[in-house]
């Protein structure tokens, strides 16, 4: 006799594709309704794959029909598939095994961008995420010194390079691949190629997040990155002074033009913590980035004060988040990392990064100039 129990009995014979257990044992069957010889089955599965859903529908229809049902309706609820993580202009994702890319940028140098990137990466790694850090600041690669691995050479595996593991973070930098103190006098095309190779030719693990410490400004490196991988979110680092905020606005505008979701602004040098009394003083101002964040519909995810231990740790290769986790600054980095992760989840739930990169713009009346394959001017 066709009833709910007989249908569930039949469904016990339907294994979830790729597994030995059946869909009833897994708890995927959420509802069964029987009316005369009509059967309705509702499932809720963890996979977004259409192939799995179609295979299940076919197998369910077969076993239930074999039990006497004349009409079988199967409804399968699935998680929303992520939007295809590719760039609409280049269509490339040269590191598809990395789940999320976070571009850390600044409008000008000297605002603590690299210090911020290093400590955010370590903070997120301490929260249980698999984290990598790519130092894409080709002309000023400071990450190795700040992580205390300035004299450590990376391991070569076949034709690729293994990243250096330090403080729970996988790291690679041009500073680790060249002689210390050596200058790079490269044209834009060479910088673009170097960034592509640092993404594709490094043996990155299946990372939850790869932080990318960008050079200051808005130029070839930023455009290359957005055309090479789908950047999940961007962070802009600034200081409270108006001259820094002017450049920060340009960086935020760049994120918008490249269609990179803005995770937030890090306000560095936001107040000063006295090492003697632990009081905090606003010597350079504080909170000046909030109106800018509102203008770009984002948030200030961290206000990092001036604390001597930050500078000392950066010079000595002892990041404050790792070596002084109970300090005020370390706790603020941890809070900022948590907010960043929330933004990453939000971006992915809304369909992922699109990164529809645009062609670089030129002012009115100025001719655009391209580079040839050797890095020279193509005019």
Domain range annotation of the chain: 4-77, 101-349
Q: Which residue has the higher pLDDT, 220 or 321?
A: 321
pLDDT per residue as tens digits for the range 232-247? 999 999 988 887 888 8
User: Nearest-5° angle of CA 158, CA 170, CA 124?
Assistant: 155
| Per-residue model confidence (pLDDT) at position 215 | 83
Which CA distances in Å does 243 have to 22, 27, 238, 239? 63, 59, 10, 9
pLDDT band for 84, please (50, 70, 90 cuts): very low
Count how many Cα atoms sit within 13 Å of the Cα of residue 58 in the half-sphere of its side chain.
7
Query: Rounded mean pLDDT of the chain?
Result: 81
The class that CATH gives domain 4-77 is alpha beta
pLDDT band for 112, please (50, 70, 90 cuts): confident
Whether the domain at 4-77 and the domain at 101-349 fall into the same CATH topology: no
DSSP 136: -
Task: Tokens 């009346």: give the residue.
Answer: 365
pLDDT band for 188, please (50, 70, 90 cuts): low
Instruction: Reduce the DSSP state of residue 176 to 3 states and report it.
Output: helix
What distance in Å separates the CA atoms of residue 166 and residue 168, rounded to the nearest whole number?
5
Measured in residues, the chain has a length of 379
How much of the chain exceeds pLDDT 70, in percent? 84
CB 301 within 8 A of CB 265: yes
Q: Please state the rounded mean pLDDT for residues 110-137.
A: 92
Instruction: Reduce the DSSP state of residue 30 to 3 states and report it.
Output: strand
Which CA distances in Å does 259 have to 66, 82, 173, 256, 359? 52, 17, 26, 5, 12
Prediction pTM value: 0.67
pLDDT band for 369, please (50, 70, 90 cuts): very low
**For the chain, how long is the longest CA-to-CA vector?**
83
How much of the chain exceeds pLDDT 90, in percent? 40
What architecture does CATH give domain 101-349? 3-Layer(aba) Sandwich (3.40)
Most confident of 80-94, 171-185, 332-346: 332-346
Q: Which residue has the higher pLDDT, 127 or 200?
A: 127
pLDDT per residue as tens digits for the range 116-125? 999 999 999 9
Q: Strand 38-44 to strand 71-77: parallel, antiparallel, or no bridges (unpaired)?
A: parallel
């Amino acid at each position: 006799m066709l009833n709910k129990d007989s249908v569930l009995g039949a469904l016990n014979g339907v294994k979830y594709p790729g597994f030995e257990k059946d869909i009833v044992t897994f708890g995927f069957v959420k509802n069964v309704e029987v009316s005369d010889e009509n059967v309705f089955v509702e499932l809720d599965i963890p996979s977004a794959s259409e192939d799995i859903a179609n295979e299940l529908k076919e197998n369910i229809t077969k076993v239930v029909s074999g039990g006497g049902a004349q009409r079988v309706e199967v409804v399968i609820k699935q998680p929303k598939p992520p939007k295809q993580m590719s760039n609409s202009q280049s269509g490339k994702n040269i590191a598809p095994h990395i789940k999320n890319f976070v571009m850390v940028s600044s409008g000008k140098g000297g605002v603590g961008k690299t210090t911020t990137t290093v400590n955010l990466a370590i903070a997120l790694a301490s929260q249980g995420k698999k984290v990598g850090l790519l130092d894409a600041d080709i002309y000023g690669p400071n990450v190795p010194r700040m992580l205390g691995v300035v004299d450590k050479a990376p391991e070569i595996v076949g034709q690729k390079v293994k990243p250096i593991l330090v403080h729970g973070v996988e790291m690679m930098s041009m500073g680790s691949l060249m002689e210390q103190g050596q200058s790079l006098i490269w044209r834009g095309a060479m910088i673009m190629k170097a960034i592509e190779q640092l993404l594709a030719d490094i043996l990155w693990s299946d990372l939850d997040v790869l932080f990318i410490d960008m050079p200051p400004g808005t130029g070839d490196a930023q455009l290359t990155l957005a055309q090479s991988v789908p950047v999940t979110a961007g962070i802009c680092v600034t200081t409270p002074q108006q001259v820094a905020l002017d450049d920060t606005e340009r960086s935020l505008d760049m994120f918008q033009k490249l269609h990179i979701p803005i995770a937030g602004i890090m306000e560095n040098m936001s107040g000063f913590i006295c090492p003697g009394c632990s009081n905090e003083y606003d010597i350079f101002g504080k909170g000046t980035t909030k109106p800018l964040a509102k203008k770009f519909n984002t948030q200030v995810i961290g206000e990092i004060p001036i604390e001597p231990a930050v500078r000392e740790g950066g010079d000595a290769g002892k990041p404050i988040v790792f070596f002084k986790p109970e300090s005020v600054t370390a706790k603020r980095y941890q809070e900022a990392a948590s907010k960043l992760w929330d933004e990453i989840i939000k971006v992915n739930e809304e369909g992922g990064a699109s990164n529809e990169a645009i062609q670089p713009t030129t002012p009115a009346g100025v001719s655009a100039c391209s580079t040839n394959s050797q890095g020279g001017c193509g005019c």
